[in-house]
Every structure is written in C-alpha cells, then in structure tokens.
Structure 1
Amino acid sequence: MINVLLVGSNGAMGKTMQELVEDTPDISIIAGINAVPVDNAPFPTYQTFGAVNEHPDVLVDFSHRSLLMDILSYSISEKVPAVLATTGYTDDDEALVRQAAEKTAIFRSMNMSYGVFIMNELLKKAAVLLEAGYDAEIIEAHHNKKQDSPSGTAKMLLNTLKAEASKTDLKPVYGRSPQSGRRKPNEIGMHSLRGGTIVGEHSVVFAGCDEIIKIEHTALSKKIFASGAIKAARFLKGKSTGLYSMSNI
C-alpha cells in the first residue's frame, strides 16, 4: 500500500485523483492540504504542512506554484518523495526543484499524461528531420479557468524543438498581431486558446512547401493526468534523492 498526501485535494484535479484512487487498491490518500477548510472530506485535511499528523509514503501535488517552497521544505524535512504535477512554474521555480532533488526524491513533469510524453519523444525525431524547409508553430487549447499561458506542456514542446535544432537563434513569438509582419525563419509561433471545458489540446505544426505535418495530442479527460500521478507515486516510493520524469517510467 502506498499512502499519499494529496496537496490541492479539493481542486478539480484533486477530486479527479480521489475518484481514480477509489478503484486503485494499492493507493490510499491518507491526508490532504487545501488553502481553505474542507467539510466532510474522506480523509483529514489541513491548511498547512506543519499541521499534518500522518506519515505519507509519497506527496502528490495538484495545487498551485505558490505552494512550491512549502512542498519542497516538507519533502526534505520529512523525507517524503514528491510528485509535482502542477503547471505554471517559472524558470526560478524549476531551479529550486533541481536544487531540492539533491536532498529529496522528486518526480517532475510538465504533463502527467503518458501520451504527451510519447508526443514529445516523436517531436525529438521530427524536429531533426523537418528542420530544413519547414516552419514550426505550437498551438495549445485549454478550458477558460486555466491561469497560465502558454501551458507548461507547450513550453516543454518549445524546449524540445530548440534543443534538437541545429540553429542557435530560434526564438518564440507569442501570438501574432497586425504589427507582427512577415514570419522570420528563426521564429517558433506559440499560440494559446482558452474556452469552455477543453481539457487540453497540443499541436506542433510543421508547415512546408505544399504540405503540412502535425503532431497532436488531445486529452479527453482529466483522469489521464491523475493516472500518470499514480504511476509516478508507485515509481517514487522508497527513493531518497534524485529528479525523475516520465522518461524514467
């Protein structure tokens, strides 16, 4: 049995995680962290990490980047591995995660979907094969409550394109306006759509002469992210230090 401390347990993803765990016999959520008190929760919930009395095997975070420092401090001091499934981290946040991984075990992914991991692996190949003669653009779409833009996954796809390219001057262009002018060869367009209840769509478009090649992923349910977090929790249990990602599982 893997005992989990769920951070953001009353949010949309926290509730999805709870639903999935009900049919997962080797995972138990023994406590939760929320910004506000939760009535009638199926497990004890707290507003601060210092109030947690339980002893989890793994922490799973589906909250907000503002809690990152508290999460890392708790993970290090209590020796509890952490699955960081929150988006919107800044470059400074990512640096803090890398530093913390020297003292505790952390699983970090821009997207907890295994399908998105496969998409990114395919993109590594396509970025090399299609660099010459094709213009690359990234399009992502999410529900109207998502706060960060572009999505963490879109940033990951951008980083993959830049890492695999032979050009060193590639730069993102966020959206286009009447003043944007003609597209420059070193640009990678980044476009974000927000509306309705879109779970998550990501597309990398390679536009060439008389043809278009696309690599796409569409999330039909939030359950795929919770499922990925469960796989990560299984993988992380018992580990003491290190930074891990989908490529490790």
Structure 2
Amino acid sequence: MTRIIMHGCNGHMGQVITELCAKDEEVEIVAGVDVSDHIQNTYPVYKSIAECDVDADVVIDFAVVQAIDGLLDTCVSRQIPVIVCTTGLSDAQNDKVKEVAKKVAVLKSANMSLGINTLMELLKQAAAVLGAAGFDCEIVERHHNQKLDAPSGTALALADSVNEGLLERYEYKFDRSKERKKRDKKEIGISAVRAGNIVGQHEVLFAGPDEVIEFHHTAYSKGVFAKGAIEAAKYLKGKDAGLYDMSDVIKNK
C-alpha cells in the first residue's frame, strides 16, 4: 500500500486523483493539503504542508506555484518523496527542484500521461530513422481557449524527444508569418491551436518523399494525468534521492 499526501487536494486535479485512489487497492490518500475547505474529504485536510504531521510514502503535488517552495522544504526535512505536477515554475524554482532532488526523491515531468510518455520514447526511435532519411518534422498541439501558454510544455517535450533521436540538434520554429523563405531542413515546426474546451491533442508529423508518418495523442479528460500521477506515486515509494521523470515509470512497467 502506497500512502499519499495530496497537495492541492480540493482543486480539480486533486479531486480527480482522490476519486481514482478510492478505487485503487494499492494506494490510499492519508492526508490532504489545501487552503480551501469547501470540500469534505474522507481524509484530514491541512492548510499547509508544514502543518501536516501524517506519515506518508509520497506527496503528489497539484497545487499552485506559490506553494512549491514550502512543499520542497518540508519534503526534504521529513524525507518524503514528492511528485511535482504543478506547472509554470520559475527558473529559480526549477533550480530548487534539482537541488532538492540531491536530498530526496523527486519526480517531475512535463506531462503525467502514460500515453504521452510512451509516445516520447517512440519519437526518439522514429527520429533516429526518419531524420537520417531527410524527413521534415512538424508538431501541432491543440488545447482549450483558457490555456495561457503556447506552445504547450508537452509540445516542447515532444520536440525534445525528437531532437534526442536526431544526429544533430534541430532548431524550433514557432512562427513563419514574419519571413518569406523556404523551410530550413534542420528545424522542427511547432504550431498551437486554442479553441473550445479541448483537453489536449498533440500531433507529430514526419514528412518525406512520397510518404507521411503521423503520431497522434488525444486526452479526453484530465483523468489521464491523474492516472499517471498515481502510477508515479507507486513507483517513487522508497526510492533513493534523485530526479526522476515519467520515462522511469514507463520503463518499470
């Protein structure tokens, strides 16, 4: 049994994870942390991680960036592994994550979906073959109209995976509207669509002479990210200090 502290338990993702954990016999949420108390949970909820004195094997973080520093400090002092799912961290906070990982197990990934992380591994293999054959690579990502950042962190992570498989690093091209010239062979185009309530769609296209290979991933609900976080919690339990990501979880399957 993996005992979890849910950091940000009363947010949307916190509640999705709470529901999934209730159906999973291998995990149990033993405590939650949230400044909001508008939801009644089956476990005790604390205003801050520093106030939470419940023993646990791992913390899942889906809170806000303002709470990340206190969370990391507490996880170090109590030696509790932590899964950082909160996005939008500053450069200083990302640096702190790396420093904290020298003292306690930390898992951080651009996307918690098991499918996306499997796709990243496939893209490395595809790029090694198709890149060498001169195929162009383009990425199109689609999200809801409330998403603030573009391109998505996942799109950039997919591009990084492609680059890992190539013999040399390609540059990322986000906007071709301001220049009139042929496509550079050593670039990866990344386009962003913001419309409706699309949870998340990512398409990676390799186009070569007379043939096109496409990889698609569609998230129909945020449950895919919650499921990935729970699998990550099972994986991270008892791990030594270090910086882990979802590729480690995938390889352990």
TM-score, structure 2 as length reference: 0.88
Match of 1:180 in 2: 179
Shift of 1:102: 0.8
Is the 1:7–1:62 Cα contact (8 Å) retained in structure 2? yes
Unaligned ranges ≥5, structure 1: none
- The 1-side partners of 2:66 and 2:176 are apart by 30
98 and 54 in structure 1: CA distance in 2 versus 1, 3 angstrom threshold: same
How is 1:70-219 mapped onto 2 (pairs within 5 angstroms)?
70-89=70-89, 92-131=92-131, 132-168=133-169, 170-177=170-177, 179-182=178-181, 183-219=183-219
Tell whether 2:26 aligns with 1:30.
Answer: no
Percent identity (aligned): 39
Counterpart code for 1:210? D
Root-mean-square deviation over aligned CA pairs: 2.0
Relative to structure 1, the CA distance from residue 68 to residue 176 in structure 2 (aligned partners, 3 Å threshold; closer, same or farther) is: farther
**Structure 1 length-normalised TM:** 0.89
Alpha-carbon distance in 2 for matches of 1:89, 1:238: 26
Structure 1, residues 7-62: CA drift from partner, whole Å, max 9, x if none?
Answer: 12122211111111111123222222224333423333233222223222210012
Q: Deviation of residue 104 (structure 1)?
A: 0.3
Measure, in 2, the Cα distance between the counterparts of 1:91 and 1:140: 24
Q: Distance in 2 between matches of 1:90 and 1:162?
A: 24
Q: How many residues align?
A: 247
Specify whether residues 207 and 180 from structure 1 end up closer, same or farther in structure 2 by C-alpha distance, changes over 3 A only. Answer: farther
How many Å separate the matches in 1 of 2:166 and 2:47?
45
Distance 1:79 1:186 in 2: 45
Match of residue 57 from structure 2 = 57
Q: How far apart are residue 76 of structure 1 and its match? A: 0.5
Cα displacement (A) at 1:208: 2.1
Once the two structures are superposed, residues 85-113 of structure 1 have per-residue CA deviations (whole angstroms, 9 ceiling, x without a partner) of 23334555443322211100112222222
Structure 2: give runs of 5+ residues left out of the alignment.
none
Contact persistence 1:88–1:151 (CA under 8 A):
no
Q: Structure 1's 85 and 150: CA in aligned 2 closer, same or farther, altered over 3 A? A: same
Q: Label 1:210 to 1:93 Cα distance change in 2 as closer, same or farther (>3 A).
A: farther
Residue 139 of structure 1 contacts residue 192 of structure 1 at CA under 8 Å; is this kept in 2?
Answer: yes
Determine helix, strand or coil for the equivalent of 1:37: coil
